[in-house]
Amino acid sequence: MRLELGYVFIKDVQFGSESKVENGTLYVNKEELINLIKEDEHFESVDIELARPGESVRITPVKDVIEPRVKVEGPGGIFPGMISKVDIVGSGKTNVLKGCAVVTTGRIVGFQEGIIDMTGPGAEYTPFSKLNNVVLVCEPKEGLKQHEHEKALRMAGFKVAAHLGKLAKEIKPDEVDTFETLPILEGVNKYSDLPKVAYVQMLQSQGLLHDTYVYGVDAKQIVPTILYPTEIMDGAIVSGNCVSACDKNTTYHHLNNPVVQDLYKKHGKELNFVGVIITNENVYLADKERSSNWTAKLAEFLGLDGVVVSQEGFGNPDTDLIMNCKKIEQKGIKTVIITDEYAGRDGASQSLADADKLANAVVTGGNANEVITLPPMDKIIGHIKYVDTIAGGFDGSLKEDGSIVVELQAITGATNELGFNKLTARGF
């Protein structure tokens, strides 16, 4: 499967009378977007704010971050099963508004939404401080249940991202990247002298408000399966979860999965990137055994020499991670795992809730319990009062001067960004 990603670089975002892209600036018609979101009657009020890199702005609580994209050529559309009809995506041409994102916020959904600071020390820990953000402030109607609120907010983000993405459909990209994965036998024959490597992507699926969707299906309902890596780039996998902000894979992370991108950089040169095995994270032991058994079976079936495994969440999913690693290693396949750590504020506690001697190649995203002080910002988008109760916050996190003392887990994308940027090969 072959996909061309055409990047239309966005250097600024402004409100305007017409939504368009012109000379590197994304112009947004505010009322147009508000009316689009208000098609969903679950919201009491809707507003649109803008946040640019370097501005003294804090966005919290953050639900999701989404990059606008549009199919230009080829089957299907962006976010299949959510916005577009269910069709296999990942081939043809897709244009990307690179350098901007849609961020969703409003009164809290769960208790693990996070913080994005556009400047200061907190900005160094999140990739989203570097983007021109269109922020949707969506307030639910009184009495709306949490899962209904989450769905309404999730869909609002997808609708706006798809709407803005369409602005790039007729624009000639500033830059084009091409990604291609051949069918298994064809790829093995073409790269017969290279090790066969796959990416095992663990998806958060551990209960209500801990959801990830694959072609519109809740990942709790799937057994491990195989995807072309390019399918992910067209929105085949999207976020619907409210786990700790630092290790939640937002939809932006899925669209721009750096493990996929790093493996593609080595594809055909140092390794044969065979594809992606997606697997869910489970609550019950029997389900953990089933999914890890299937994951190891698929890795063996593909004749792999090595895999990279990434985890979403922490604590309970550590067992899924170690099961996947151990069972794949027992098949004679070399395994590298990517995870963050929860080692206590002093770093002296056990980093993972599970361990095994076969997990001997680990890429760490750092200690999510590390404490950071975020200085006051001139502007708050969303609601600041929740920082004491989100994961990583505590009673007294919010100071009188507007500064915040929190653990890194409260910063959206913090340890994901650190860990993905450290990915190295093990010598597959």
Assess contact for 95 and 37: CB atoms under 8 A.
Answer: no
Helix (H, G, I), strand (E, B) or coil at 225: strand
Neighbour tally for 363: CB within 10 Å? 21
pLDDT digits (tens, 9 = 90+) for 208-258: 888 999 999 999 999 999 999 999 999 999 999 887 888 889 999 999 999
Assess contact for 281 and 218: CB atoms under 8 A.
Answer: no
Assess contact for 423 and 265: CB atoms under 8 A.
Answer: no
CA distance 421 to 428: 19
Our CA angle for 295, 299, 304, nearest 5°, is 160
What pLDDT does 425 receive? Answer: 41
Please say if the pLDDT value at position 14 is more than 50: yes
Most confident segment among 105-114, 201-210, 260-269? 260-269
242 in catalytic set: yes
Assess contact for 317 and 311: CB atoms under 8 A.
Answer: yes
Please say if the pLDDT value at position 396 is more than 50: yes
- Listed in sequence order, the residues at least 6 apart from 104 whose beta carbon sits closer than 8 Å to its beta carbon are 62, 63, 64, 65, 66, 135, 136, 138, 153, 154, 156, 157
Nearest to 95 by CA among 33, 167, 27: 167
- Listed in sequence order, the residues at least 6 apart from 243 whose beta carbon sits closer than 8 Å to its beta carbon are 112, 204, 210, 312, 313
* Positive/negative CA dihedral, 12, 109, 345, 359: negative
CA distance 81 to 425: 34
Nearest to 290 by CA among 224, 359, 200, 203: 224
pLDDT digits (tens, 9 = 90+) for 128-138: 999 999 999 99
Given 100, 138, 242, 246, the catalytic residue: 242
Instruction: Give mean pLDDT, residues 94-111.
Output: 92
| Residue with the two structure tokens 């653990």 | 407
Helix (H, G, I), strand (E, B) or coil at 208: coil
CA distance 94 to 67: 12
CA distance 414 to 126: 5
CA distance 364 to 360: 12
CA distance 292 to 275: 17
Tell me which H or E stretch contains 260: helix 258-266
Q: Are strands 25-28 and 20-22 parallel, antiparallel or unpaired?
A: antiparallel
Compute φ and ψ for 231, nearest 5 degrees: -60, -35
pLDDT digits (tens, 9 = 90+) for 144-187: 998 899 999 999 999 999 999 999 999 999 999 999 999 999 99
What pLDDT does 278 receive? Answer: 97
CA distance 347 to 297: 36
Nearest to 328 by CA among 304, 310, 352, 311: 304
pTM of the model: 0.94
Assess contact for 304 and 298: CB atoms under 8 A.
Answer: no
Q: How far is CA 224 from the centre of its chain?
A: 19
pLDDT digits (tens, 9 = 90+) for 271-319: 999 999 999 999 999 999 999 999 999 999 999 999 999 998 888 889 9
Assess contact for 328 and 295: CB atoms under 8 A.
Answer: yes
Please say if the pLDDT value at position 70 is more than 90: yes
CA distance 171 to 384: 39
What pLDDT does 419 receive? Answer: 54
pLDDT digits (tens, 9 = 90+) for 320-371: 999 999 999 999 999 999 988 888 888 888 888 888 999 999 998 888 889 9
What pLDDT does 423 receive? Answer: 47
Core vs surface per residue 28-57: b (16+ CB within 10 A) or e: bbbeebbebbeeeebbeebbbbbbbbebeb
Q: What is the CA radius of gyration of the chain?
A: 21
CA distance 275 to 278: 10
